[in-house]
Amino acid sequence: MAAALTVARGRVFWIARTLREVEHVSAHCRFLGIEVAVVKGRAELCPALSEPMTSEEASAYCSAVRLRCQYYTNMLSGVEPSCPYYMQFNQTKNAKVIAATYNMLLKAGRLVPLPPVRSEDILVVDEAHNIIATVEEHSFTKASLERALQELSIIKGPPALRDFLHRLLANMASFKPSTRAAILAESLIYHGKQLRRLLAEKGLRPRSSLHSVGKALRAACRSPFRIEDDRFTVVEVKELELPRAPTVFLSGTIGRHEAELLGAEYLDFTVFASYEAETYVTEDLTSAYEQRTPEMFKRYAELLRRIKSPAIAFAASYKVLQGIVEADKELEQQAFIERPDMKSAEAEELAEAWKALARRGEPALYIGVCGGRGSEGVDFNEAQAILILGAPFPEPDDPALQALYQYYADKFASDAEVREPERLAELHAVVLPAARKVAQAVGRAFREPGKRALVILADQRFKRLKRLLPKWIVRELRVVNSDQVPPRLGTQREGMMSLGVIE
C-alpha cells in the first residue's frame, strides 16, 4: 500500500476477492491515517432486505422497488435515513484509496457510480490468482424444471416455452445446442426476470427457477455440459476485463507461468521470506484416484495421530477427507472437521473453537480441504504443524476441470508460437491450480515474520511438484515414510534424530 501511494499520481484502487480481504485493506489504511472508501454491494448494505440475498438477487430487488423505497427517495431529497448503498459513493470523491471486491469494480463497474480508473491511478489486484480464469457453474435438476413450469403458468408465459420445458423434464438428454435453443434460453431468462420483479414488488425474495434454468441453458449453448443423476451441469470459464491502468498483481501463490498469461513482469519476493518451514514429503502416501484404498486412508489417519502439537490439515478433496474420517471414526469426535455445506458463520466458529485450544498449547486438530473455506480465508497462526493430505488435483469427473482444460487448449492452440498446446493446457488447468491450493493452505499458518512450523506434504507426487511451490516451503525438504515424520516441530538435529540419521 505504501509503495502504491508513493507512485500513484491519482488514486489507488485496491480490489480483492472477498469483502473480508477488503476490510483488511481498509483497516491498514486507517492505521496509516489514509482516507479510504470501502465500496460494498446491495446485499451487504440494503436495509430494506428482509432476508439474506445473493448480490444478483439484491440487485433485482432494488431495481423492482427502488422508486417506492423510502431510503432511495430520501437519498434523492437529501434527508435521512438515506440509502447506504448509494450514499457510500459520496465517500469515494475525496478518498485516496478505493477498496472493493472484484465484482464491484470489474463486473459491475459500468453499472455503479464509481469513479473510473484512469491512467494516473494505480490498480492493485490482491490474490491475483483468482482472476486468471474464473470458473462459473450453472446447474438445474428435474425439480428445478417443475418449479420453472409452475412459474411460467403464474406469469402466463408462451406455450412454446412450456412445451420446451416439458420435453426437457421428460428427457434432459434431448437438449442440443442450437440457435433456437439459445433463443429459448434467453426467453426463459426474460420471463424469469419478470417473475423476480413480481416477487420483489410483493416484498419476497426474487428467486426464480425460470431464470436459473435459462442461464444454465444459455451457457450450455457455448460451453460443455453434462447430465448425471438427473442434474444438468454446465461450467463456463471467463476472464475478468481489467481497466487500462498501471496494474500491480499481488499473490503469494502464482509463478512465472501465470504472470505470462496476465501479461505482467514477474517479481519473486518469496526468496526473501523469513518463514522457517521444516518440510517433509511422505513417499509412502498418495491420494491418486486409483490408489484410494481403505488401507491408504488408514495410513493418512495414522499420520494425523502422530502429530502432538496444534495442527491444521487440508485434504486433497472432500472425498479424500471422508475416506480418512471413515478409516478412523474417532476423528469425528476429536478433530474440528470442515463440512462442504458449512456456512461462513459456522466455518468461523469452527476455526475459533480450534484456536481457543491451540492458544493453550493443546494438540488440537483442524481438518479442512485444499481450496475450501479454511484453506483460503482463515488465519491459523497458532498452528505448529500443517499437513497437506494428498495432492489436490481435480477429481477426474470434475466438469470444471474439463472446461478449464478445453479453455486453455483452445487458447494455446490459437497461438502459433506454442509448440505443445495440450501439455500447456494440462499445466494450467491441472498442475498449477493444485500447486496454488497447496501454497495457499500452507500459508494459513505463516502469518507473521519469522514464523516456524512443521510442514508435511503427504503425497509422493510432491517430489515432482516441489519446483512449483514457493521457495520458503521447500527450502528445507526431506523425503521420508509417514512413520518417520516427527511428532512436533524441532531443530534440524532433532528432526534428523527422529529419522534415525544421527543418534
Domains in the chain: boundaries: 2-132, 135-238, 274-498
pLDDT for 491: 45
Give the three cell numbers for residue 49: 432486505
Helix (H) or strand (E) holding 156: none
pLDDT, one tens digit per residue, over 347-367 is: 889 999 999 999 998 889 999
Residue 502 pLDDT: 38
Q: What is the pLDDT of residue 114?
A: 73
- Percent of the chain clearing pLDDT 70 (strictly above): 96
Cβ of 9: how many Cβ atoms within 10 Å?
Answer: 10
Mean pLDDT of 280-285: 96
Least confident of 40-44, 50-54, 129-133: 129-133
- The SS3 assignment for 487 reads coil
d(CA 401, CA 289): 15
The arithmetic mean of pLDDT across residues 459-470, rounded, is 94
* Arithmetic mean of pLDDT, 257-272: 84
pLDDT surpasses 90 at 435 = yes
**Whether residue 209 has pLDDT greater than 90:** yes
Report the C-alpha gap between 4 and 154 in whole angstroms.
54
pLDDT of residue 494: 54
Burial 122-150 (b: 16+ CB within 10 A, else e): bbbbbbbbbbbbebeebbbbeebbebbbe
Whether the predicted pLDDT of 503 surpasses 70: no
pLDDT single digits (tens) 18-34: 888 899 899 999 998 99
Architecture in CATH for domain 135-238: Orthogonal Bundle (1.10)
494 or 247, higher pLDDT? 247
Domains 135-238 and 274-498 share a fold: no
Burial level of 336, CB count in 10 A (0-12/13-18/19+)?
buried
| pLDDT score for 69 | 94
* 385-408 residue pLDDT tens: 999 999 999 887 788 888 888 889
Mean pLDDT of the chain: 89
pLDDT at 368: 95
For residue 324, name the pLDDT band (cuts at 50, 70, 90): very high
Query: 493 pLDDT band (50/70/90 cuts)?
Result: very low
Give yes or no for a contact between 259 and 250, defined as CB atoms under 8 angstroms apart.
Answer: no
Q: How confident is the model at residue 107 (pLDDT cuts 50, 70, 90)?
A: low
Which of 328-342, 367-381, 456-470 tops mean pLDDT?
456-470
**CATH number assigned to the domain covering 274-498:** 3.40.50.300
List Cβ<8 Å contacts ≥24 apart for 295-301. Answer: 296/323, 297/323, 297/324, 297/326, 297/327, 298/327, 298/328, 299/482, 300/324, 300/327, 300/389, 300/390, 300/458, 301/325, 301/327, 301/328, 301/331
**What DSSP assignment string belongs to 292-304?**
--HHHHHHHHHHH
Q: How confident is the model over 224-244, as pLDDT tens digits? A: 888 988 899 999 888 777 888
Amino acid at 472: W
The model's confidence at residue 112, banded by pLDDT at 50, 70 and 90, is low
For domain 2-132, say whether CATH 2.30.30.30 is its number. Answer: no
Instruction: Report residue 104's pLDDT band, with 50, 70 and 90 as the boundaries.
Output: confident
Residues in the chain: 503
